Amino acid sequence: MATRSGRRDRGDRAEGAPGPTGGAIAPAGRHGSMDGLLATKEIVVACGPGGVGKTTTAAAAAVMAAVRHGSKVLVLTVDPAKRLANALGLDGIGNTEHRVPGSAFRAAGLKPRGQLWAAMLDTKESWDALIRRHAPDRQTRDEILANPLYQNISGRFVQSHDYIAMERLYEIHSESDYDLIVVDTPPTRNALDFLDAPQRMADFFSSRLLRWLIVPYRSRLVNVATKPFYSIADRILGTEFLADISEFFILFQSMYDGFVERSDAVGRLLSDRRTTFVVVSTLEAVPLREAEFFAEQLTARRLHLGAIVLNKVLPDYLRGADGGVVAEAMKEQADRFASLLAPELAAADAAIGDPTQIARVLSEVADSYLNFQVVALREMEERSTLSVAPDVLATVPFFETDIFDLTGLVRLGEQIWG
Amino acid sequence: MARHSTVTGGDDPVGSLLDLKLVFVTGKGGVGKTTVASALALFASLRGKRVLVCEVDAKGDVAGFYEAPPTGFNEREILPGLFAMTMDTEASLREYLKLQLHIPVVGRIGPLAKAFDFVATAAPGVREILTVGKLCYEVRERNYDLVVVDAPASGHIVGQLAAPQAINNLVKVGLIRSQTDWMLDILSDARATGLVAVCTPEEMPVNETIELAVRISEETTVQLAAVVVNRVLPELFGRQEEAVFDALASPGPLALLDELVDGDAAPVLDAARLAVTMRRTRSTHLDRLRQGIDPTVPMLYLPYLFTRSHGLRTTRQVAASLGEELGY
């Protein structure tokens, strides 16, 4: 393991203690802060349902760690928005890690104490690299890379993303000297898929069926026990396709030991104490239930649930009981209020002194408040039912504008920093 | 809500969505894909069609959108004319073996499940083809007027829809080959099959929808039938009214307003300001979406619902809005 120089200057701080700029009151922290969490872990896996700001949250956490800690931080993203990729200097770069230049930070008025690096996950490229690593010889390597089945698995079919993301994380963690790696997880059908991927990959390569399938064709015919299996498979898939599959797996078998060993190592890394999981969600019912389920599963698998980040939470002022009363009054008495307000407005500008128009604005504004209040109250209700207890529970307010640059990421980061 | 004129002439392209036999509904996670799929199916059934709605994500909760008990692989009529099922590739394989090969799979499922899991992992596209195959089968047998699929998210749908072609390329002979041939016939028929991309007016969903449109036309034979823009915020006021609003928020009038309402009016005005900014940010993404999608693809706009609950009531509301946008 490389020297973790960035850690030293924080060595005297207890885990979970608020950072120098964390502020006295964490908005929703239970008994820890994101600052403390990121200072004590080496790998942070951001996960959760789709559409909740997972990628942005991962990037914000990494930026904050680079700015506030003297660490070398890597953010490994899967599918960043184009503008965010630009901000991280990732546009058109792909799989290799790149340092976000100091000039980008200076332009945002920031003086990072550490370094921020960024990389994007390219599934196909990562698979190819994996084959190159494990192939016993050049010929096998080239045959696999050219095999149509391999190309399908690596490029087209989705489960392979899950595995390769974790594999790449392992590779970077074991071979480079980052103090902290923040990894975004691929959008999966099931948020848990990527956790199971290393085990599934190992199971797959140890499968007895795999051995059946790659038995040379002739010996199949004499094996009474397996004959029915092959005759059905032949009828459905055709002999030629079966032969293609066999060839593919015979080639893959040469890499068997390497793969299984590697999958196990990836699995171990995820459950290591140095790794923590940050579940990102919004307070909408469906994503929140999914996030909660995920958090429960993490705990059940003895993985470390470090934090839950609740994004896009509507502002507090929408929940005040007074606000509702005021809005109701504004709506009911819009005409009366408008006639009283009209002279005042007309005094400033005659064009805006029309009572009818003022009344309409008042009632639109009041309606809008009441509408959003419904949503804001429901959000709080959802939050109060949250049944999991992470070390850190961070709430991030709704930002009116998109987050697409370092300034925006820091704005978001400060909210989750606690 | 603000109405957008969407139909761009031609021979009623929007209405034709309900004339399709097989509609895949996709979208980035969190945009309301299942809501739209459920509403579309409900609306079609209310128009008198016999409809099957099928969820492909096992964890999905289509039944919940109708407040019906969870569904399984065997479809169940949950509302008049509206049937629902949950895709299960293993059950689909069993049905396939029984119907096509006359191999009844009774007895223990354990070994079969294991073998299936293995084959599905080994031979890419097996899971996908069993899903698409079952759906095409329902269309071919004319069991329903319309099959609505709550399909995988946009990151996964291309692989699913491209699977028959991919398998077709890999498998040269055998039963599978002839099976994929008729599936492809159904999928490539723009009068029978269409893809509906659901999107919200936000940065990533818009990017993903534009990307999806390109990939669908390049990598599959399926036609993009419509883009549904979900959660469109209402326009609070026009420019002149905004000037009135700004004036109201200035110190003098605000003090008077506080007095009139006998309380603090600032939060109410702040909320309106937030709503206006949100809508403005969203409208730039909406513009990008319009520019990025082939103008002949109809765009349907659904309003933001200020409830965030889901259930039959919400599904009915969305179905009504959808119907309006479809010109009924």
In chain A, pLDDT over 70 holds for what percent of residues? Answer: 78
Which residues of A, range 259-298, sit inside 8 Å of B by Cβ?
282, 284-287, 290
Both tokens of B161, joined, read 């829809």
**Ranges A71-85, A223-237, A400-414, B120-134: which has the least confidence:** A223-237
Between the CA of residue B190 and those of A295, B6, B153, B184, what are the distances in Å? Answer: 43, 20, 21, 11
| Phi and psi, residue B27, nearest 5° | 160, 160
Nearest chain B CA: its distance from A346 CA (Å): 10
Across A117-128, average pLDDT? 85
Of B31, B159, B241, the CB nearest to A157: B159
Across A268-291, average pLDDT? 91
Cβ atoms within 10 A of the Cβ of A126, count? 21
At A218, the pLDDT band (50, 70, 90 cuts) reads very low
Pairing of strands B82-86, B193-199: unpaired
Q: What is the pLDDT of residues A320-348, one digit of tens each?
A: 889 999 999 999 999 999 999 999 999 88
Bridge partners of A280?
Answer: A309
Q: What is the pLDDT of residues A8-47, one digit of tens each?
A: 343 333 333 333 333 333 344 445 789 999 999 999 999 9
Both tokens of B202, joined, read 């936000």
Bridge partners of B198?
Answer: B27, B228
pLDDT surpasses 70 at A272: yes
Across B136-147, average pLDDT? 93
Q: Do A329 and B263 touch (CB under 8 A)?
A: yes
Q: What is the pLDDT of residues A152-206, one digit of tens each?
A: 666 555 456 777 888 889 999 999 999 999 998 876 556 567 777 777 767 766 6
* Chain A residue with Cα closest to B125: A157
Both tokens of B111, joined, read 């070994």
Chain B residues closer than 8 Å to A244 by CB = 170
Q: Do B248 and A235 touch (CB under 8 A)?
A: no
Cβ atoms within 10 A of the Cβ of A354, count? 17
**What's the mean per-residue pLDDT of chain A?**
81
Q: Do B277 and A400 touch (CB under 8 A)?
A: yes
Question: What DSSP designation does B15 have?
Answer: G
pTM attached to this predicted model: 0.83
pLDDT surpasses 80 at B112: no
Mutation target among A52, A189, A313 for the B interface, most CBs of B within 10 A: A189
* Chain A residue with Cα closest to B174: A238
pLDDT of amino acid B77: 95
Looking at the domain that runs over A5-128+162-200+266-315+386-417, which CATH code has it been given? 3.40.50.300
Maximum pairwise Cα distance, chain B: 83
**What's the mean per-residue pLDDT of chain B?**
86
Across B223-245, average pLDDT? 93
Cα separation, A267 vs A166, whole angstroms: 8
**Ranges A97-101, A111-115, B110-114: which has the least confidence:** B110-114
Q: Do B118 and A204 touch (CB under 8 A)?
A: yes
* Chain B residue with Cα closest to A366: B268
At A55, the pLDDT band (50, 70, 90 cuts) reads confident
pLDDT surpasses 50 at B196: yes
Q: Do B122 and A234 touch (CB under 8 A)?
A: no
Q: What is the pLDDT of residues B153-168, one digit of tens each?
A: 877 788 889 888 877 8
Is the Cα torsion angle A211, A213, A218, A222 positive or negative in sign? positive
Taking the Cβ of residue B57 and every Cβ of chain A, the question of whether any pair is shorter than 8 Å is answered with: yes
By C-alpha distance, which of A378, A415, A409, A410 is closest to A395? A415
Nearest chain A CA: its distance from B225 CA (Å): 23
Chain A residues closer than 8 Å to B114 by CB = 209
pLDDT surpasses 50 at B44: yes
pLDDT of amino acid B40: 97
Q: Which residues contact B54 (CB under 8 A, 6 or more apart)?
A: B75, B84, B85, B86, B87, B135, B147, B148, B149, B150
Q: Which residues contact B51 (CB under 8 A, 6 or more apart)?
A: B41, B44, B45, B81, B82, B83, B144, B145, B146, B147, B148
Q: Do B123 and A371 touch (CB under 8 A)?
A: no
pLDDT of amino acid B118: 58
pLDDT surpasses 90 at B186: yes
Nearest chain B CA: its distance from A250 CA (Å): 12
Nearest chain A CA: its distance from B265 CA (Å): 6
Boundaries of every domain in chain B: 15-236+297-323
Chain A residues closer than 8 Å to B260 by CB = 329, 333, 337, 340-341
Taking the Cβ of residue A240 and every Cβ of chain B, the question of whether any pair is shorter than 8 Å is answered with: yes
By C-alpha distance, which of A271, A290, A316, A283 is closest to A393? A283
Q: Do B29 and A50 touch (CB under 8 A)?
A: yes
Of A245, A315, A344, the CB nearest to B256: A344
Angle between helices B126-140 and B175-188 (to 10 degrees): 60
| Phi and psi, residue B226, nearest 5° | -165, 155
Which residues of B, range 158-177, sit inside 8 Å of A by Cβ?
159, 162, 166, 169-177
pLDDT of amino acid B307: 77
Taking the Cβ of residue A205 and every Cβ of chain B, the question of whether any pair is shorter than 8 Å is answered with: no
Q: What is the pLDDT of residues B58-90, one digit of tens each?
A: 665 788 899 999 899 999 999 999 999 999 887
Cα separation, B11 vs A298, whole angstroms: 53
Q: Do B277 and A159 touch (CB under 8 A)?
A: no
Cα separation, A277 vs A255, whole angstroms: 31
pLDDT of amino acid B8: 40
Cβ atoms within 10 A of the Cβ of B251, count? 7
Q: Where are the beta strands (DSSP E) in A3-53?
A: 43-47
Of B30, B103, B207, the CB nearest to A51: B30
pLDDT of amino acid A156: 53
ipTM confidence: 0.85
pLDDT of amino acid B102: 67
Q: Which CATH architecture does the domain made up of B15-236+297-323 adopt? A: 3-Layer(aba) Sandwich (3.40)
Residue for token pair 């300034």: A407
* Chain B residue with Cα closest to A400: B278
Q: Do A317 and B57 touch (CB under 8 A)?
A: no
CA B61 to chain centroid: 13
pLDDT of amino acid A91: 73
Across B190-198, average pLDDT? 96
pLDDT of amino acid A213: 59
Of B207, B241, B306, the CB nearest to A357: B241
In chain A, pLDDT over 90 holds for what percent of residues? Answer: 39
Boundaries of every domain in chain A: 5-128+162-200+266-315+386-417, 318-380
pLDDT surpasses 70 at A48: yes
Nearest chain A CA: its distance from B186 CA (Å): 21
